[in-house]
Amino acid sequence: MEATHVIEAGEPDTLTVETPLGKARGYSDGSVFSWKGIPYAAPPTGGLRFRSPAAPQPWAGVRDCRAFGPIAPQGHDTSVPIDPTMMLDEDCLTVNVWAPRPDGQPRPVMVWIHGGAYCLGSSAQPVYDGRLLAERGDVVIVTFNYRLGTLGFLDLSSFSSADRVFESNLGLRDQIAALEWVRENIAAFGGDPGEVTLFGESSGGGAITTLMTVPRAEGLFHRAIAQSPPATSVYGAERAATVAARFLEILDLPADRVGDLWDMPVERLVKAGDILVDEVPVRVPGTLAMSPVVDRDLVPHYPVAAFQKGHSHRIPLIIGSNKDEASIFKFMRSPLLPVSAEAVQQMFSGLAQDNPELSALRLAEIVAAYPDSTKPRGALAISRDAAFRMPALWVADGHSRHSPTWMYRFDHATPILKAARVGAGHATELPYVFGNFGTLNVDPTFWLGGRKAAVDVSGRMQRRWLAFTRYAVPAALDGSKHWAPYTEESRSTLLIDSRDRLVADPDQALRVAWGDEVMGFS
């Protein structure tokens, strides 16, 4: 169905648009309007639990879109600032839109995928509010929820039977359904369904690098920005089956009673999933309990290998990582990333065991490239590069052979973050992209100053992200220089800081030590 473009002005602060599914009332938000909590799929409950998202049902009358929809079921984690008054519910598949008043001139669309290690987070987090970006860029911003953890990224398909089918990669299938909703509905909000940029961070960025190799997702987005993607955190079916079996052990549920999962209280599923999320990266450092799976169905290949073999979608890409990615995991005492020399050694031992082609000499050469490898600083650097920096480079290498690619490294940190030895840690670039500072319950970002410099950095990042969205080329640097595309010959990388620099092959020695071919972090 196509959007009908019927617009009704109501009260001075409301705007109702008619979508293919029904009328949606939005509310003024600064100089733009927002519509929140619009369903893009049927509630994934009852017989749809553990199944692909189904089409949403049209509604009668006018749907009031003042408030965000429920958050995807997940455990409690204080590192993710979520409003405690918001409801968690399986019926969570909703989108949010920020847009200037539709005027008949289609605007580019930016669709955000939130991060959270595939098990946490929500589109309702204040840092993801799309108002400022929509205003600044005269674009349409879309954010959405998708299933997480046990219900979204635990692959139970090894327990499927003729009577009960557990589908794989449900969270990715939700993301595709949200993009299909954008294609079919966004024109009603003034957006151009043929000019969609998909952007996301952490597991949201990893979802993007995966979707860029998924045939079913081709054509649903036309540019991509992957911020700190853990692109190699995608595992095989055999490993997924082992994790699923452990999940049943935690629940004390025999395999012949796996059908009980369909009716089990969601709180019990989440609690068991939380145990698994904490347990797996401790037992096997460098891995996640739940993530996309190479099921040979939706996801046909390991994504990074697919990039290197030329199987990624032919679209422009911005990709990058943060200078001090791993620091925040040490600061938060999170088990999701190995941050001690002992854990890093365990990670490499696991790599050697799972990948016999990796010689002990090769692994020793990598460790030797880090002078402080036996100290916390060295362990953090190795973990940063294993999880984020090298996967981003491997993706860029493969993609740049056939499509325009730009590489960045986010280096900026406020004085308090430098003093706390967090620096440009994981996710610290998010306020700069959206322009939303001060969204934490207790936000120390500017306790020692640095606001003016941060606002300047934010403005430059937003200009580049928005220019890429509109023109498929990121905005120029200050002065006459432009952000040169990344190639395997030039390795041009934009270092984003108080003063940005375009550098050829930063950290060359570390890149050479890791090599140019994918290592199996599975």
CA angle (328 as vertex; 325, 331 as ends), nearest 5: 145
Identify the burial level of 62 via C-beta atoms within 10 angstroms of its C-beta, where 0-12 means exposed, 13-18 middle and 19 or more buried. Answer: middle
Q: Which of 123, 168, 202, 321 is catalytic?
A: 202
Q: Residue 112: what pLDDT?
A: 98
Q: Is the pLDDT of residue 338 over 50?
A: yes
Q: How would you class 347 by CB atoms within 10 Å of its CB: exposed for 0-12, middle for 13-18, buried for 19 or more?
A: buried
Show the domain range for 437.
7-514
Q: Which of 212, 142, 224 is nearest to 184 (CA)?
A: 142
| Domain presence at residue 483 | yes
Q: Indicate whether 212 belongs to any domain.
A: yes
Write down the catalytic residue from 325, 400, 458, 492. 325
Q: Identity (one letter) of the amino acid at 120?
A: L
Mean pLDDT within 152-167: 95
pLDDT score recorded for residue 6: 54
Residues pairing with 144 in the sheet: 95
Between 153 and 337, whose confidence is greater? 153
* Whether 325 is catalytic: yes
Domain presence at residue 193: yes
Give pLDDT tens digits for 480-514.
Answer: 458 999 999 999 999 999 999 999 999 899 999 99
What percent of the chain shows pLDDT beyond 90? Answer: 81
Q: Is residue 521 part of a domain?
A: no
Say whether 202 is catalytic: yes
- Determine, yes or no, domain membership for 270: yes
**Residue 2 is assigned to a structural domain of this protein:** no
Separation CA 192–CA 241 (nearest Å): 41
For 6-44, the pLDDT digits (tens) are 556 556 699 999 999 999 999 999 999 999 999 999 999
Taking each helix axis from N to C end, the angle separating 237-251 and 266-283, rounded to the nearest 10 degrees, works out to 120
- pLDDT confidence bin for 4, thresholds 50/70/90: very low
- What average pLDDT score do residues 62-70 get? 97
| Residues 440-494 pLDDT 10s | 878 889 999 999 999 999 999 999 999 999 999 998 655 545 899 999 999 999 9
> Distances in Å between the alpha carbon of 47 and those of 13, 164, 269, 453, 522?
40, 10, 16, 52, 32
Domains of the chain: total: 1
Looking up residue 187, the CATH number of its domain turns out to be 3.40.50.1820
Average pLDDT over residues 399-405: 98
Considering Cα of 94, then 100, then 105, then 109, what sign does the dihedral take?
negative
What would the pLDDT profile of 188-241 be if each residue is shown by its tens digit?
A: 999 999 999 999 999 999 999 999 999 999 999 999 999 999 999 999 999 999
In a domain, 1, yes or no: no
The answer to whether residue 63 sits within a structural domain is yes
Question: Is residue 301 annotated as part of the catalytic site, yes or no?
Answer: no
Q: What is the pLDDT of residues 119-133, one digit of tens each?
A: 999 999 999 999 999
Catalytic residue among 426, 458, 492, 522: 426
Q: What is the pLDDT of residue 1?
A: 40
Reported as a single tens digit per residue, the pLDDT across 344-369 is: 888 888 777 666 666 777 788 898 99
pLDDT higher than threshold 50 for residue 521: no
